[in-house]
Chains A and B, each alone.
Chain A
Amino acid sequence: GAVVSQHPSRVICKSGTSVKIECRSLDFQATTMFWYRQFPKQSLMLMATSNEGSKATYEQGVEKDKFLINHASLTLSTLTVTSAHPEDSSFYICSATGQGANEQYFGPGTRLTVT
């Protein structure tokens, strides 16, 4: 099946700094990528949808200036958490889907800890 990778798998950063998370589709072209946030013992919350070459569409309540999403190529999307604070600590998961695909393929997730 289609493979999606995320990097890094874990990151610790200091409050006020920015951190970038990469999501890559390894063996298919991802026309659409999704970013989710998951709090401990909770479900996945969709943050935004990004289509290659277009601006991301953010879900209600998600700050677009804080969570910058770039989908510059058909195999890479990045999520940058700007001016991170401890409340941004979470598990971030990306997924991707390709042209004509009818399911999302999920990455392994990135654990962000802001100290």
Chain B
Amino acid sequence: AQSVTQPDIHITVSEGASLELRCNYSYGATPYLFWYVQSPGQGLQLLLKYFSGDTLVQGIKGFEAEFKRSQSSFNLRKPSVHWSDAAEYFCAVGASDSSYKLIFGSGTRLLVRP
């Protein structure tokens, strides 16, 4: 069965430091992969997505993610974190049955130290 694992429940980084949020997926074919960000009490905003092609994907707000098939990973990175990046981050994989369903990871809460 498809699944998404975000091993870090929360991460704290200092403002200006680099960030990497981990995401591992279980999937039988080439996956559709997504990263979303959610501020408290808000809906989800798409940061970036991977369907095919270049394995390094650029997103909004200076985020990028790299698809590594050999490691079944799609980690999210940002070279310099801003205080406004503090939020909940969700990795998701598109279901394989053409239903457009998304399977979400459990999320990683990012805290930013001033």
Please give, as numbers and ranges, the residues of chain A lying within 8 Å of B58 by CB-CB distance: none
Q: How far is the CA of A103 from the CA of B51 in the complex (A)?
A: 10
Interface residues of B in 73-114 (CB under 8 A from A): 90, 94, 99-102, 104-107, 109
Q: How far is the CA of A9 from the CA of B62 in the complex (A)?
A: 29
What band does the interface of chain A fall in when counting residues whose beta carbon is under 8 Å from B?
20 to 34
Q: How far is the CA of A34 from the CA of B101 in the complex (A)?
A: 8
Please give, as numbers and ranges, the residues of chain A lying within 8 Å of B100 by CB-CB distance: 32, 34, 49, 97, 101, 104
Chain B residues with CB under 8 Å of chain A are 32, 34, 36, 41-46, 49, 51, 90, 94, 99-102, 104-107, 109
Q: Is the CB of B101 within 8 A of A49?
A: yes
Q: Is the interface of A mostly helix, strand, loop or mixed?
A: strand
Q: Is the CB of B41 within 8 A of A43?
A: no
Choose among A32, A97, A103, A108 the residue with the greatest number of B CB atoms under 10 Å from its CB.
Answer: A103
A41-71 interface code vs B (CB 8 A; 1 in, 0 out)? 1111010010000000000000000000000
